[in-house]
């Protein structure tokens, strides 16, 4: 598999803060890669190193087969960046900013620009100082999406968008993927990640703690089971991987580590099953587990 982004043991300190602490991130060409993690985990720092804005203290980073620090200028013509906090020049209109950024990246497609302005419902004549937060975000998004680039680095790009615009954004990202572009999408909006991303990496305290497809990640966690049994539920509590068992007469509900699902179901069938519902973990449950402290130790 060809990679658009690889980092090896990337480390970056700010004074005594270890913002990145041995980060290994891999993003394959042509995929939409979700980049998740709690506040202050190091997502923006990673992206800014990939952009050559910050210099890593140690470790290695490759971006489109170049060195993000040394080859910054040539690499930047092949990518577009949308920061989470878009600040515009107060005296420049949105349209001017879009054209400026597009031209500095090597030109943008006027038809696509017009189409995106229309879809995002953005008035390009307003001055930077008069845009709302969401509209500033749209200016940066239109500039990035209208550029002909191979890679999009998006750092919480939808932080200020309303739900309608969020839907437009999702359509656009799907189109980008269909065009073969690679997207690194840092986000706190789980439904967005679920809808768009082929793979995700979860970062905590400057390290990647989990990486893979959502299916693979789900596999690493628990499934909820409710069952109506025809035999005695005794012994279920002792099965390896079963948690939070509640027994009410012949009904049981519990959670089971997903790798143990098969063994557990076999056992239930042995007892006799009259009814069964199983529910995969929600994304929230998945991420809560990875974000919260007790996993930090368990993840290693």
Interface residues with Mg ion (CB under 5 A)? 44
CA distance 80 to 76: 7
Note whether 39 binds ligand ATP by CB under 6 A.
yes
User: If DSSP codes are grouped into helix, strand and coil, which group holds residue 235?
Assistant: coil
Residue 185: CB minimum distance to another protein, A: 16
Contact 64, 51 (CB under 8 A): no
Interface residues with another protein (CB under 8 A)? 48, 51-55, 72-74, 76-77, 79-81, 83, 85-93, 95-96, 98-101, 103-106, 124-127, 129-130, 140, 153
Count of beta carbons in the 10 Å neighbourhood of residue 25: 22
**Which is closer to ligand ATP, CB of 140 or CB of 225?**
140
Contact 5, 27 (CB under 8 A): yes
**First-to-final CA distance of the chain:** 26
Residue 136: CB minimum distance to ligand ATP, A: 17
Note whether 158 binds ligand ATP by CB under 6 A.
no
Beta partners for residue 253, in sequence order: 226, 246
Residue 80: CB minimum distance to another protein, A: 8
Beta partners for residue 183, in sequence order: 32, 152
Among 10, 11, 36, 41, binds ligand ATP (CB under 6 A): 41
**Which is closer to ligand ATP, CB of 39 or CB of 215?**
39
Binding partner of 279, given Mg ion, ligand ATP, another protein, none, CB within 5-8 angstroms per partner class: none
Binding partner of 41, given another protein, Mg ion, ligand ATP, none, CB within 5-8 angstroms per partner class: ligand ATP
Binding partner of 191, given ligand ATP, another protein, Mg ion, none, CB within 5-8 angstroms per partner class: none
Residue among 194, 92, 120 at smallest CA distance from 101: 92
Residue among 117, 182, 121, 186 at smallest CA distance from 158: 186
**Residue 269 per-residue DSSP state:** H
Binding partner of 104, given another protein, ligand ATP, Mg ion, none, CB within 5-8 angstroms per partner class: another protein
**Which is closer to ligand ATP, CB of 208 or CB of 242?**
208
CA distance 66 to 79: 12
Residue 214: CB minimum distance to another protein, A: 29
Residue 156: CB minimum distance to Mg ion, A: 6
CA distance 49 to 107: 24
Q: What six digits make up the tokens of 157?
A: 């790009």
Binding partner of 130, given another protein, ligand ATP, Mg ion, none, CB within 5-8 angstroms per partner class: another protein
Phi, psi angles (nearest 5°) of residue 52: 75, 15
CA distance 215 to 193: 13
Of residues 15-34, those binding ligand ATP (CB under 6 A): 17, 19
What is the binding site for ligand ATP (CB under 6 A)? 14, 17, 19, 37, 39-45
């Amino acid at each position: 598999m060809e990679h658009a982004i690889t980092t090896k043991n990337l480390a970056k300190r700010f004074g005594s803060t270890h913002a990145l602490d041995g980060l290994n991130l891999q993003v394959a060409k042509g995929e939409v890669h979700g980049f998740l993690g709690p506040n202050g985990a190091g997502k923006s720092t990673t992206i800014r190193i990939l952009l050559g804005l910050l210099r890593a203290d140690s470790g290695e980073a490759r971006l489109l087969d170049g060195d993000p620090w040394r080859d910054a200028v040539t690499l930047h013509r092949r990518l577009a960046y949308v920061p989470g906090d878009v600040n515009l020049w107060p005296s420049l209109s949105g349209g001017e900013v879009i054209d400026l950024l597009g031209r500095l990246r090597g030109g943008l497609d006027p038809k696509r620009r017009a189409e995106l302005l229309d879809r995002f419902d953005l008035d390009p004549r307003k001055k930077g100082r008069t845009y709302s937060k969401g509209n500033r975000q749209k200016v940066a998004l239109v500039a990035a999406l209208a550029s002909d680039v191979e890679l999009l680095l998006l750092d919480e790009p939808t932080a200020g968008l309303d739900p309608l615009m969020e839907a437009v954004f999702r359509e656009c990202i799907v189109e980008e993927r269909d065009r073969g572009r690679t997207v690194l999408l840092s986000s706190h909006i789980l439904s967005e990640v679920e809808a768009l991303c082929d793979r995700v990496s979860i970062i905590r305290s400057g390290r990647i703690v989990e990486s893979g497809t959502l299916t693979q990640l789900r596999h690493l966690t628990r499934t909820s089971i409710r069952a109506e049994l025809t035999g005695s539920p005794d012994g279920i509590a002792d099965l390896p991987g079963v948690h939070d068992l509640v027994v009410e007469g012949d009904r049981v509900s519990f959670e089971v580590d997903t790798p143990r699902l098969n063994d557990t179901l076999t056992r239930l069938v042995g007892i006799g099953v009259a009814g069964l519902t199983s529910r995969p973990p929600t994304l929230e449950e998945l991420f809560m587990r990875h974000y919260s402290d007790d996993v930090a130790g368990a993840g290693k």
